[in-house]
Structure 1
Amino acid sequence: MHTKDKKWQTLFAAAIIALPLGLSGVSPAAAEGASEDYIVFNAPEVARDFPSTADTVVVDKRLVEQPTSGLRVERVYQTIPAHKHERSDVYNYLVSGRAKFAVGDQPAQEIGPGTTIFVKKGTVHSFPELIEGPLVFVTIETPPRDPSDVVFVGEGADKSFISTEQPK
């Protein structure tokens, strides 16, 4: 692993722990600890509450929803066609599973647990192959991504793309 990769993973982990809750809360099953100022959670534990199969491509649980950032755990059940997000930058940390990840016209690269991906808003990307699925990601979005901010490029998914559980 490159020093640059370790630095990104350390920064990502620190951002998750320090991210303030703002107006959101987390159920006790989703977090080891939560207050008005911070959240500590176990992503695999949150993912255990997701169904083993789904009619949608993605099922997620939003843990934090603020004006400037959002935090969620998501499980990806199927390949994700080329798409972009017009309003949000996205940071994905892969907790479990293996897949191919592609940006634009570049060749897909294999990713596995511990991989961190940053995708700037407007950048076309996809997950054209699930090698070991489903995938579980911890995702930070700036600002929080509305589920409608998934713009497919070329042949895309239908409306059964995502099922979201909002913060309580």
Structure 2
Amino acid sequence: MDGAGAVPRRLTVLSGPSGVGKSTVVAHLRSAHPEIWHSVSVTTRHARPGEIHGVHYYFTDQPGFDKLVANNELLEWAQFAGNRYGTPRQPVLDRLAAGVPTLLEIDLQGARQVRSAMPEALQVFLAPPSWEELVRRLTRRGTEPAEVVERRLAAARVELAAESEFDVALVNTSVQDVARELISLMGLS
């Protein structure tokens, strides 16, 4: 529903292992439905070339992140590969109150925290077509050292085992098909 007095849209959480294609699906989804608001995470890692503060991430230092956690300003947060990442709480609540379709693309740990804080959120798990395909996707990137890829694969095994915790599981065999299913689940078709 839209308009005054409308029931706020339910938050949608998209999670799944690294390399499964979450970012690609979200980019496709938002190109078809630009009204979907995708949260910008805060991180303690340094910006990569081409990344813009406030667009790709909100970049902060460790003390700044500690302050966000202490002030309960993050809906969820996690540590990965020596850096911390989190979702600022207030922008999510503001978009939901305004009836804006809102999407979080986060890891398993974050999805669990959101489930605890907002049990009404729709939790969607994005799975790879097979383990072999996930390994291929992670290794073909060629942007990370072998030890980081191994950490991601170890984390992926844990994440894949948690699929049953989610409301819906989608297998990423086609970005277009998954985006279409996600749009339908969000009530936007």
Same fold? TM cut 0.5: no
Structure with the greater alpha carbon radius of gyration: 2
**Which is bigger in relative contact order (C-alpha 8 A, separation at least 6)?**
2
Higher helix share: 2
Q: TM-score, normalised by structure 2?
A: 0.28
Q: TM-score, normalised by structure 1?
A: 0.30
